[in-house]
Amino acid sequence: MKKNLIHDERAVAQKRKIGSEACNLLLGGLIISLLIKQYVFNIPSSQYATELICLFGAFIYIVIRNIIAGNDLYETKNNGKKSVIVSSLVGGLATCVIAGIANYARYGEKYTDGSLFMITLAILFVSGTVVTLFIVSSIYILNQKRQKKIAEELDKEESDVK
């Protein structure tokens, strides 16, 4: 005989929140593990390729699943484009800092004057910002299309009801 259990909505929401937090902690730990393996231990990329694939797979899944579900990733009504630009600048800055530290740790003795290192940092910042802008803009455009499609479907349902 099958039992039909009644689940408390608060308990279900709390369990989902805990699962989401656990996923975020695991992804954060995976990022930290990758950075340590790559920049501290100088392990070849073949040694952490599986972790990198899992990380990108998880991020791609999260983004695609949210877009398909109709969740607005960028609050498009208020500051969606601003969020894209800020995300791109933060991505460029993160690339600059992480790769700059790694470059200095590996090739610090070759930077006899600070100008070459500053040029390297500038190139890293610009390239990181451009790549991040391309990725985030693509996600923003997909999100906008999905939000527009959902709005059209809701308008159609509303007009059919009348």
H helices within 70-113, ranges in order? 80-107
Q: Most distant CA pair in the chain: distance in Å? A: 78
CA distances from 98 to 106, 145, 154 (A): 12, 34, 45
Q: Which of 131, 148, 35 is nearest to 89 (CA)?
A: 131
> Are 71 and 143 within 8 A, CB to CB?
no
How much is the pLDDT for 78? Answer: 67
How much is the pLDDT for 133? Answer: 93
Print pLDDT tens along the chain (162 aa).
Answer: 566 677 778 888 888 889 889 999 999 999 898 888 887 788 888 888 888 898 889 989 988 888 888 887 776 566 777 888 888 999 999 988 888 887 777 777 777 777 888 888 899 999 999 999 999 999 888 888 888 888 888 888 777 776
The conformational region for residue 20 under phi > 0 = left, psi -120 to 50 = alpha, else beta, is alpha
Task: Name residue, tokens 């009504």.
Answer: 77
Q: Could you say which DSSP state residue 6 is in? A: P
How much is the pLDDT for 40? Answer: 79
> Are 27 and 57 within 8 A, CB to CB?
no
How much is the pLDDT for 63? Answer: 87
What does the alpha-carbon distance between residue 43 and residue 20 come to, in Å, rounded to a whole number?
Answer: 30
| pTM > 0.75: yes or no | no
CA distances from 108 to 29, 95, 101 (A): 28, 18, 9
How much is the pLDDT for 69? Answer: 82
